[in-house]
Amino acid sequence: MATSTSSRPKCSWARAIAASQSASCVTSNTWPIASPPVGVAEMSLEAWRRVMAVNLDGVFLGVKHAVRAMRASGAGGSIVIVSSASGIKAAPGASAYAASKAALRLFAKSVALEVAQETHPGEHGAPGRG
């Protein structure tokens, strides 16, 4: 459920979790933004912010509301954040995407430490990494 500055309707993580009546396991995965590779010197601030909004803001909101729901239920749960190999290995023309996926790795680790006693121990992984 990504947040966006586009004209597409915004989805609400809080509404989605409330509608499911459970947050024992929440998976947050963002879909890559289709665009040709753009060098950092040619990238607009708007393009940079769009990638960050989808890949970071959307995941933040999902995790925030999942933790709240898990705390309220008292039953704990698991949060799965799916990143990308691009969060580990850089590629030319993908600076915003790679930066956002690397940020997700540390965000996941920080949240895990923050809520370790309340939720099920989890793991952060990047697809393609065994």
Whether 97 is a known active-site residue: answer: yes
* CB-CB contact of 81 with 122 (8 Å): no
Which residue in the list 61, 66, 97, 107 is annotated as catalytic?
A: 97
Structure tokens at 120: 């099920």
Return the SS3 of 29: strand
Q: How far apart are the C-alpha atoms of 104 and 62, rounded to whole Å?
A: 13
Q: DSSP class of residue 125?
A: B
Would you please indicate which residues are annotated as catalytic (active-site) residues? 97
